[in-house]
Structure 1
Amino acid sequence: MSKLVPLIRSITQKGSASGTMYIGHVVQRSAARPDALKIQTSKMVLDRNLKKYFSGRKFYWAEDNSNDCLIGDIVLIRSLPKNLDKKRVTHKVDRVVYKLGCVVDPVTGRRCRGTEFEDEADKGTEKPLVIEEIK
């Protein structure tokens, strides 16, 4: 089973009372605050003149108290309450959905690298990169 199905179920059971949630990937770590991360999210934006949706990007600063996020991880962020006195950091990392390099196909549940599946049984039988040495 996919990791996203239980994730979506847990989000819908919690409801929207706990804040707005976005999914995105970690782009940058703050130099001034090591627990602050810059998260890039994508959203489809409607162009009313062309009547067509285009992909738009938005960046959020989120705090990561556990410091287990790395650049490139796909994370789920939740908005913080408005009464906090934080100017830049407006969200917090709820959970890490996928670590960098550990992507799982949501349909089959198998790990994949790019467009090909990565089977655990075939790791020892991979073809070598160098077939023969040139003398």
Structure 2
Amino acid sequence: MATSAHRGAVLIGQCIAHNTRNAAKVRVKRLIFDSNINMYFPKHKNYYAHDPDRECKTGDIVVIRELPERMSKVVTHSLVKLVYKFGDVTDPITGKKVVVGQYREHMDERDEMFGVAEDGSGGFKYSEAPDRGWQQDKRDFTHKVGYQKWHEFEPGHRFHNDPVAS
């Protein structure tokens, strides 16, 4: 049971996959101190936060706050703010977009200065890319287990038509 000091506490966490309607599942990571070996160990706890607009997607970093009373059996928190969208890394100090340790605008300046390859393969164009999550709710069979055939037995072999053996 949470004490009154913890009521209304603000937590930051990452949204994980969920099927709950009007709620987001948020994993909050904490460091727990082990006094026997004087080390901190990561522990996590999952919370369900009320998100009626469904603005939070898997991988987003969000801020949540505990509700004064539960909305339902599992929903105990509310979504306060979407801090970072997954895939759109932003430098917190300058507010500029970052790609693998470089600012996007510096990459564009470099491409302008030195040009791109003659065949037109100048790398990924971030300005022309669609928003993150553009394939959401599309049926693309990624949820199914893939089948890979490892070996083909020639006709006459005892495992030739056995679906388990190949």
TM, length-normalised to structure 2: 0.57
2:16 is the alignment partner of 1:27? yes
Name the CA distance, whole Å, in 2 between partners of 1:116 and 1:37: 31
* Structure of higher RCO (CA pairs closer than 8 Å, 6+ residues apart): 1
Partner of 1:54: 41
Provide Cα deviations, 1:104-131, integer angstroms capped at 9, x if missing partner.
112343211233332276079266368x
Partner of 2:95: 109
Q: Secondary structure at the match of 2:105?
A: coil
2:86 is the alignment partner of 1:100? yes
Provide Cα deviations, 1:32-88, integer angstroms capped at 9, x if missing partner.
x32121101111110111111122211111110121111111110010113x35221
Q: Tell me the amino acid that sits aligned with residue 20 of structure 1.
A: A
Name the CA distance, whole Å, in 1 between partners of 2:51 and 2:110: 37
Q: Tell me the amino acid that sits aligned with residue 66 of structure 2.
A: S
The two structures, once aligned, show a CA RMSD in angstroms of 2.7
User: Residue 43 and residue 17 in structure 1: after superposition, are their counterparts in 2 closer, same or farther (change >3 A)?
Assistant: closer
Name the CA distance, whole Å, in 1 between partners of 2:109 and 2:27: 33
User: Residue 116 and residue 76 in structure 1: after superposition, are their counterparts in 2 closer, same or farther (change >3 A)?
Assistant: same
Match of 1:36 among 7, 12, 23: 23
Match of 1:87 among 37, 58, 73: 73
2:61 is the alignment partner of 1:74? yes
Name the CA distance, whole Å, in 2 between partners of 1:105 and 1:22: 21
- Give the aligned length: 112
Q: Tell me the amino acid that sits aligned with residue 46 of structure 2.
A: F
In structure 2, stretches of 5+ residues that fail to align are 124-166
In structure 1, stretches of 5+ residues that fail to align are 1-15, 131-135
**Greater CA radius of gyration, 1 or 2?**
2
Q: Tell me the amino acid that sits aligned with residue 89 of structure 2.
A: V
User: Residue 85 and residue 108 in structure 1: after superposition, are their counterparts in 2 closer, same or farther (change >3 A)?
Assistant: closer
User: Residue 50 and residue 120 in structure 1: after superposition, are their counterparts in 2 closer, same or farther (change >3 A)?
Assistant: same
User: Residue 18 and residue 45 in structure 1: after superposition, are their counterparts in 2 closer, same or farther (change >3 A)?
Assistant: closer
**Percent of aligned pairs with the same residue?**
32
User: Residue 46 and residue 107 in structure 1: after superposition, are their counterparts in 2 closer, same or farther (change >3 A)?
Assistant: same
